[in-house]
Chains A and B, each alone.
Chain A
Amino acid sequence: MKKMRTMGLLLLAAIMMMTLIAGCSGETATTTAEAAPATEAQETEAATEAATEAEVTEAEETEADVTEEATEAEEPEAEDAKPKVALILEGAVSDMSWNATAYAGLEKIEALGAETKYVENIPASAGADAIRTFADEGFDVIFMSSNSYQDAGKEVAAEYPDVQFFMINSTVTEDNVRSFAIQDAEQGFLMGALAALLTESGTVGFIGGLPINPIINGGKGFEQGVKYVNEEVEVLSENTGNFDDVNAAKELAKAMIGQGADVLSPMANQASLGVMEAAEEEGKKGIGSGLNQETLAPNAAVVAIVKDTSIAYEAAYQAYLDQDMPETILPMGAAQGVVYIGDYYIDVDDEIKAQLEEIYEKLASGEITIDLD
């Protein structure tokens, strides 16, 4: 047994050497391969299995899949096919919020004639891998849906000069990177204004997700929106620390209700749903941050102040098609139609509606500005 182990160790050293040398140059690998013939016996089982698997699939799927090698080798972009657009998401597309509108944006891009792919639930630490995989697969445009990927995106974008990158809510601008700044503060401002108009108890609550700049700005906007309408209203503002813990958001919402808040507004992607649920259970009001959130809170949801990023995605892709990309960071807010007031779900006083509409127009025209310092 011991002898076998030593021999195995030597063999392994040979394999490792082989892989290292193979990494440097293809030719030298053959000589070292002879030194370790016995390993082949052990490896063949797995190797042949994998090989046959690959062969079978390649034979089967002639038209089905992407098969880059085929297209690249035989007809280098002869089809001059559709541009390939990829989207990397931090959460799930089913969150009825940030990621859902991003996915809607991708669908709009697909309607413009692009081939699209997306990947969900990619944490910041895996962002670089996801970007590389898409870029290696020959995607032309890659959208990063969160500023969590800012570091990774900046680093990897430099490795792929031919790929166009778009980062949402980032501050990076490079030759092949464009960023657009969703005006979360404007969404927050409208939420705050409406909350102040609706409140009876004089206390309103804002629940953010991860304390990143967009959410922090949203919170600032909320506070200023409240004060714009009524200086007297008290604002409770907290962040749960992540975007997917629905229960944490729900608990926080209930705690705020316990402190007297009667209108709550979330800005926490998936976790927003917890806030709406809490409002529903406690008989309070909730201002949605995305479409469809009322399905969870039919009595509590007043309206959704929508931050429809899909418009931003579509605009960015159109700019890419037109090869007309602005050098600066693109703002995307009320003026661009990204932030807007959705349909009211419950009966709301017409006067309140009119007041909110007026505030919205002032935001869009630039009459109201939000102080983010």
Chain B
Amino acid sequence: MEKIRVKAINGVKTVYFPVVAILVSLLIGSVVILATSQTSPLVAYESLFKGAFGNLRAFDDTLLKAIPFIFTALSFAMAKRCGIINLGAEGQFAIGALMATIVGVGMPDLPLVPHLLLTLVAGFIGGAIYGLIPALLKVQFGASELITTIMLNYIAKEIISFMVNGPIMDSASSLYPQSAPIPGSARLPAMFAGMRVHWGAIVALLAVVFYYVYLWKTKSGYELRVVGLNPNAGHYAGMNIKRSIIRSMLLAGGFAGLGGCIEIIAVQGRLMMTSFTVTYGFTGIAVALVGGNNPIGILISGVLFGGLQAGALRMQMMTDASSSVVQVIQALVILFIAGRLMFRLRTGRHLRQRTLAVPPVAMDERGEKR
């Protein structure tokens, strides 16, 4: 019994920050709603909640929206575990989507299974290569990945714009900047008739399992985590820090690319200029932060953010509260989790820890050769 009690206490401790962050964000979000619309925040949130979890159809939509977020969250988390801040999931996601579109549209005569697999692999590789660029820049030249990943997002956006306006534009469709539709042999079908959640959900689950097994059950995953926790210790123990960084970014990019690929071949059906108006990559960061870079946490918070996304549209449509409120809430969640110390219960022990805990935190930014 005592064991269970301890576990329960630990469990509460783990979810304390995310839950507080979300509640406070909702509270501040309600002030925003009050200030910008005629709607009572309660009515707006009710509409949001109904649109996310109100009935089977809404929940179906929530799961559908959660899938890409889980992938981009894994992308951020995988890099973070190695001490890299990958802000480039947005671009890796887009490049994965692009590669999937090229393979999906470009080889229409293949039978279903190989075509689908090839498309998924293309998406993964596309994202992985795009993740490799900042990793190489970091290990070779010491370029901060904070800058390079963000900048690469813009490049990815322009690449997509160029491609859908030129090389892969569907000339049959009214010159609208979009690719041809993905043929049936490369489409991921829905899991159940009448529902929209597709087999990408299983791929996402497998990706989460892989994330867990790789990081906690394999030697190279262990090295990666050690490098993330303390590069100096890793180096001292004879670990190859550069290799770990490259590995983590390859996987991080791959996860995001796979997410982009699945979003195109399962949901959107073709690549468009407006395919990435939802900021999949940045929402993924929020998902990873709320989930504490923990596999289960990512799944749960992925569904939560999927719900926010699904409910936001309904909220905007049924009340006059803008769906931008949801973006405000997401941003606040990131802010509060990043600044989680402000919610720390002020006991003497915590205060003491806080003063002691300063030096090791700065470790991330230091060069890995030290």
Query: Which residues on A are within 8 Å of B, measured CB to CB?
Result: 1-2, 4-5, 7-9, 11-12, 16, 19-20, 22-24, 38, 41-42, 45-46, 49-50, 53-54, 56-58, 60-61, 64-66, 86, 117, 119, 123-126, 129-130, 133-134, 136-137, 147-148, 150-151, 210-213, 216, 241-242
Assess A53 versus B46: contact at CB under 8 Å? Given A5-B296, A12-B296: yes
Q: List 16 A-B contacts (CB under 8 A).
A: A5-B294, A7-B7, A11-B296, A12-B300, A16-B299, A20-B191, A23-B195, A53-B49, A57-B45, A119-B316, A123-B277, A124-B274, A126-B313, A129-B61, A130-B317, A211-B177
A118 to chain B, nearest CB (A): 8
Q: Could you mark each residue 159-194 of chain B with 1 if its beta carbon is under 8 Å from any beta carbon of chain A, else 0?
A: 000000100000001111110010000000001100
The reply to whether A54 and B46 form a contact with Cβ atoms under 8 Å apart is: yes
Q: Does B63 contact A (CB under 8 A)?
A: yes
Report how far A150 CA is from B295 CA in the complex, Å: 39
Which residue on chain A has the smallest CB distance to residue B324? A121
Pairwise interchain contact A45-B19, C-beta atoms closer than 8 A = yes
Chain A residues near B275 (CB-CB < 8 A): 125
Q: Mark B1-23, 1 if CB is under 8 A from A, else 0.
A: 00000011011000100010011
**Max chain A C-beta neighbours (<10 A), residue from B47, B60, B195, B296:** B296
Given that A54-B46, A60-B42 are contacting pairs, would A241 and B19 also be in contact in the complex, using a CB cutoff of 8 Å? no
Instruction: Determine which of B42, B165, B314, B317 lies in contact with A241 in the assembled complex, contact meaning CB atoms within 8 Å.
Output: B165
Top 5 A-B residue pairs of the complex, sorted by shortest distance between their CB atoms: A123-B274, A57-B46, A213-B174, A57-B42, A8-B296
User: A12-B296, A24-B192, A50-B49 in contact; A119/B212 too (CB < 8 A)?
Assistant: no
Most chain A CB within a 10 A radius of its CB, from B45, B273, B294? B273
Q: A125 and B216: CB pair below 8 A?
A: no
A-B contact count (CB 8 A): 126
Q: Name B205's contact: one of A11, A16, A41, A61 (CB within 8 Å).
A: A16
Residues of A within 8 A of B40 (CB): 57, 60-61
Please indicate the chain B residues that have their CB under 8 angstroms from the CB of A150 in the complex. Answer: 174
Given contacts A12-B296, A133-B317, whether A210 and B216 have CB atoms under 8 Å apart is no
Expressed in whole angstroms, the Cα–Cα distance for A7 and B177 within the complex equals 48
Question: B42 to A53, Cβ gap below 8 A?
Answer: yes
B134: Cβ under 8 A from any A Cβ: no
